[in-house]
Structures are given as C-alpha cells and as structure tokens.
C-alpha cells in the first residue's frame, strides 16, 4: 500500500505537466489516461481526445499502459509520448483505478483453481458428473438409470455420490494395475 501510494503520487506529479503553460480560466485537465490536454468542461463534446483505455502499469522499473503492454518504457516522459490507442472526448470523470502495479498484474493473471466450483448439493454433483460422462460419450440415460437405482437402494443422494466415488476409484485403480510399461 505505501509503495502503491508512492507510485500514485509520482504518477500524478509526472502527469501534472510541470513546466507546461498555465490553462486558461475555466479549463480543466482531461482525466482520460495519457491525454493531458486542458479543455472547457462546458464544451467537452467538441474536444477530440486520443488516450489510453486502461491505466498505466509500474512494475520492476518499467512503465507502460495496460492496454498497450508492448510499449514498455523506463522514463516518465517517454510514458506520456506513447500514442493513445482510442479516441473519444475529454472528460472530467476521474477513473476508479489510476495506476496498476505488480500485485494487480499477478492478480489478473493468477491461475484459476478448478476445485473452487465444486458443488455441495449432491444433485448438482450428479448433474456435473452426467455432463462430464456425456462429454466422454457415455449415454446419459444409462447414467440416470444407474444413479436412480443407487438412490432407491441407499435412499440418500450423498450416499449415491459416495458409492459412485468409490466405484469410479476402484475402476481407475484397476486400470492402473494393467501391465503396461510406464
């Protein structure tokens, strides 16, 4: 958080255009990423703003716009010379996220766990199993008939799931025992 605050402060200072001419009265700086123009907010629809769609990224000394990741630079002035990738009108609306750092990049590209969406409801587990088996070419009607018999025998869908898990495990272990070279 402290480092991100420093990056944000540095970005604002760099984007404030030190040494730039003072804006005419009533004009404000455009809030679009990379624009830096001053404009009259009452005539915003008359402006042409070439800017970036997404905030800048500051990661391991590199600076680049997240929408243009192939244009990495290492100097503040160079960052603002990278041409915008989209065009619209200047705006006074402040973006929600002003800068991105390494943690944002890692979070956006984190691997997705496949076990995060395992249903708790046994009926949903059976539905997902049916879909997976159907994807392998197993007849859905045969699967429904088999788990229906198990439900009638056990009287509980949790028990059906347990028995199917046990039987599938046994079959998979038998396949592992086949005399095939590893």
Confidence of residue 182 (pLDDT cuts 50, 70, 90): low
| pLDDT at 73 (0 to 100) | 94
Are the CB atoms for 178 and 143 separated by under 8 Å? no
Total number of residues shown for the chain? 182
58 — phi, psi (to 5°)?
-120, 105
Q: What is the pLDDT of residues 126-168, one digit of tens each?
A: 998 999 999 999 999 999 999 999 999 988 899 999 999 999 9
| pLDDT at 24 (0 to 100) | 83
Distance CA 174, CA 150 (A): 22
Confidence of residue 2 (pLDDT cuts 50, 70, 90): very low
Residue 105 has pLDDT above 60, yes or no: yes
Q: What is the pLDDT of residues 64-102, one digit of tens each?
A: 998 998 999 999 889 989 999 999 999 999 888 888 887
Are the CB atoms for 41 and 92 separated by under 8 Å? yes
Mean of pLDDT over the chain = 83
| pLDDT at 102 (0 to 100) | 78
| pLDDT at 21 (0 to 100) | 64
């Amino acid at each position: 958080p402290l480092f991100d605050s420093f990056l944000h402060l540095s970005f604002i200072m760099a984007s404030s255009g030190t040494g730039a001419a003072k804006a005419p009265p009533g004009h404000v700086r455009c809030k679009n990423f990379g624009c830096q123009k001053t404009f009259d907010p009452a005539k915003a629809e008359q402006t042409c703003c070439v800017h970036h769609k997404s905030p800048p990224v500051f990661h391991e000394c590199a600076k680049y716009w997240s929408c243009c990741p192939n244009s990495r630079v290492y100097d503040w002035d160079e960052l603002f010379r990278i041409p915008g990738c989209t065009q619209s009108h200047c705006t006074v609306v402040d973006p929600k996220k002003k800068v991105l750092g390494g943690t944002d990049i890692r979070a956006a590209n984190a691997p997705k766990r496949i076990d995060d969406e395992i249903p708790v409801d046994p009926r949903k587990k059976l539905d997902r199993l049916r879909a997976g088996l159907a994807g392998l070419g197993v007849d859905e009607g045969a699967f429904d008939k088999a788990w229906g018999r198990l439900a009638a025998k056990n009287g509980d869908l949790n028990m059906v799931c347990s028995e199917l898990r046990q039987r599938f495990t046994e079959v998979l272990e038998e396949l592992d025992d086949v005399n095939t070279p590893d």
